[in-house]
Amino acid sequence: MADIIDGKAVAEDVVSRVKSLAAELKAKNGVVPGLAVVIVGEDPASQVYVSSKGKKAKECGFHSVQHTLPAETTERDLLKLIDELNSDDAIHGILVQLPLPKHIDSGRIIQAISPEKDVDGFHFVNVGKLGTGELETAFVPCTPAGSMLLIERVRGKDLSGLNAVVVGRSNIVGKPMANLLLAANCTVTIAHSRTKDLPALCRTADILVAAVGRPEMIKGDWVNPGATVIDVGINRVPAPEKGEGKGKLVGDVAFDEAAKNAGAITPVPGGVGPMTIALLMANTVVSAYLRAGLARPTF
């Protein structure tokens, strides 16, 4: 049976380091890290994530602001808010919750965020830095960065020669994940909806990352014995066994089957999700350190 990677516990370690870094920055430099989270519209799932980000930011001792805008907000008004946040010295990190309503071009919004405050790591400048290995000044997207910390706990920092398969090629998860694994010296394959014989490809993986958005798609016999399995998927599915109308969260990996083969595996919930929030806090405190002209803290 696989070791279960406790993402919640690792996330707490990250958050406790963020707290002490924030306290030190305040004591020595009089600077309080500031995080602004912007949400447009009232998608209940997004509301939950946004409020947990705000709560965590306060727990870290940050200045935390949330802008909740109505669904009919224009692109122009949202750009104006981003402009204000870009020039606000109390704010070191800006996160615009995705997805945005259809009448807003999310690409334009992301590129309007100052790269120095882009704690999501979605701006072209940060994508380019990750792609070219300028990791000293880059912001790396929170979910892949958090997944890497989990992989390091199992395999160490140098992953030389290991075969990594990333299923999913989104800009938010799959592509940055593949770049991080490459930077750590893995041999990386990115799979997607046009990939031929996905089960056989997955079986070649020492490190298997699933970021697809399809509940329990990756089966147990696709997992190489001893592999490290990182399940990024968050899928809400019906759970009639818990009562009528109830639901539960499952990942992209069929956990019980996969755990029989894997060496280590992340659960859903309690795996990558908590790491995403922790890395958002880490990126924000890093931004405040860089802004103050200090050395970049490591995690």
Q: How many Cα atoms are found within 13 Å in the side-chain-facing hemisphere of 47?
A: 8
| 131 assigned ligand-binding residue | no
Least distance from C-beta 210 to ligand NDP, angstroms? 8
State whether residue 228 is helix, strand or coil.
Answer: strand
Q: Tell me how far apart the terminal alpha carbons of the chain are, to the nearest angstrom.
A: 29
**Residue 54 touches which of ligand GUE, ligand NDP, none (Cβ within 5-8 Å per kind):** none
Of 20-28, 52-60, 62-70, 233-241, which segment contacts ligand NDP by CB under 6 A? 233-241
| 214 assigned ligand-binding residue | no
Distances in whole angstroms, Cα of residue 263 to Cα of each of 41, 177, 245: 42, 20, 35
Q: Which amino acid is at 92?
A: H
**Based on CB atoms, which residue is closest to ligand GUE, 41 or 269?**
269
User: Rounded to 5 degrees, what angle do the CA atoms 273, 163, 263 make?
Assistant: 60
**Residue 232 touches which of ligand NDP, ligand GUE, none (Cβ within 5-8 Å per kind):** ligand NDP
Q: Which of 11, 2, 3 is closest to 271 using CA atoms?
A: 11
Q: Does 235 bind ligand NDP (CB under 6 A)?
A: yes
Give the CA radius of gyration of the chain.
Answer: 19
Q: Which of 5, 151, 211, 230 binds ligand NDP (CB under 6 A)?
A: 211
Contacts 24+ apart (CB under 8 A), 123-130: 127/171, 127/176, 130/176, 130/179, 130/180, 130/183
Q: Which chain residues interact with ligand GUE by CB under 6 A?
A: 48-49, 95-98, 120, 142, 234, 249, 268-270, 273-274, 276-277
- For ligand NDP, the binding residues in 238-277 under the rule CB under 6 A are 272-273, 276
Measured in degrees and rounded to the nearest 5, phi and psi for residue 65 equal -125, 145
**Residue 193 touches which of ligand NDP, ligand GUE, none (Cβ within 5-8 Å per kind):** ligand NDP
**Based on CB atoms, which residue is closest to ligand GUE, 33 or 271?**
271
- For ligand NDP, the binding residues in 158-197 under the rule CB under 6 A are 167-170, 172-174, 191-195
Measured in degrees and rounded to the nearest 5, phi and psi for residue 213 equal 90, 25
**Based on CB atoms, which residue is closest to ligand GUE, 28 or 236?**
236
Measured in degrees and rounded to the nearest 5, phi and psi for residue 281 equal -65, -40
- Please enumerate in sequence order all residues whose Cβ is within 8 A of that of 272, keeping only pairs 6 or more positions apart, or say none: 7, 143, 146, 147, 150, 230, 231, 232, 266
Q: Which amino acid is at 89?
A: D
**Based on CB atoms, which residue is closest to ligand GUE, 130 or 142?**
142
**Residue 239 touches which of ligand NDP, ligand GUE, none (Cβ within 5-8 Å per kind):** none
Give the Cβ contact number of residue 105 at 10 Å.
13
Least distance from C-beta 127 to ligand NDP, angstroms? 15
**Residue 233 touches which of ligand NDP, ligand GUE, none (Cβ within 5-8 Å per kind):** ligand NDP
| 234 assigned ligand-binding residue | yes
Where in the sequence numbering do the catalytic residues fall?
Answer: 53, 97, 120
**Known binding site for NADP(+): residues?**
168-170, 234
**Known binding site: residues?**
168-170, 234
Residues of the shown chain interacting with ligand NDP in the complex, contacts defined by CB under 6 A: 143, 167-170, 172-174, 191-195, 198, 211-214, 232-235, 272-273, 276
